Amino acid sequence: MNRIGRIYSSIVFQNISIIIAAGILNILFGENGWKPDAVISQFIDPIYRYVLPLMLAYTGGKMFGGHSGGIVANLAMIGLIMASNMPMIIGAIMFSPLIGMLTAWMERRTQDYIPIGSELLVANLIDAMLGIGLMLAGYYMVGPLMNDVLKHINNGLVMLVGSAWLPFLSLIIEPGKVMFLNNLINHGIVAPFGIQQARELGKSVIFLVEANPGPGFGILLAYMMTSSKEEKPSLRGTAGIQLFGGIHEVYFPYILMKPALFIAVIAGGFAGISFFQLFDVGLVSAASPGSILLILFLAPQKDILLILAGIGISAVVSCIIAHFILVRSYVKRSVAPMESLTLPLAEKNERPRIVVLDEQPSPLSTIQHVTISCDGGMASSAMGAAILRRKMKEAGLPNIGIEHRSIDDIPIGTDLIIIQNHLKKRMNQTHQSIPIIGLNSLSNMHEYDDIVYFIKNRNQPILRKDLFE
| Active-site residue list | 374
In contact, 400 and 368? CB cutoff 8 Å: yes
Beta bridge partners of 405: 373
Displacement of CA 387 from its chain's centroid (Å): 19
In the chain, % helix, strand, coil (3-state, to 5) comes to 70, 5, 25
Task: Show the DSSP H helices in 230-379 as ranges.
Answer: 232-244, 252-257, 262-278, 292-297, 304-328, 337-341, 345-348
- What's the rounded Cα separation, in Å, for the pair 361 and 141? 58
Helical residues (DSSP H) of 42-165, grouped into ranges: 44-46, 52-83, 89-110, 119-137, 143-161
- Spell out the long-range contacts of 407-411 with Cβ–Cβ below 8 A and sequence spacing 24 or more: 407/373, 407/374, 407/375, 407/377, 408/6, 408/10, 409/10, 409/377, 410/371, 410/373, 410/434, 411/369, 411/371
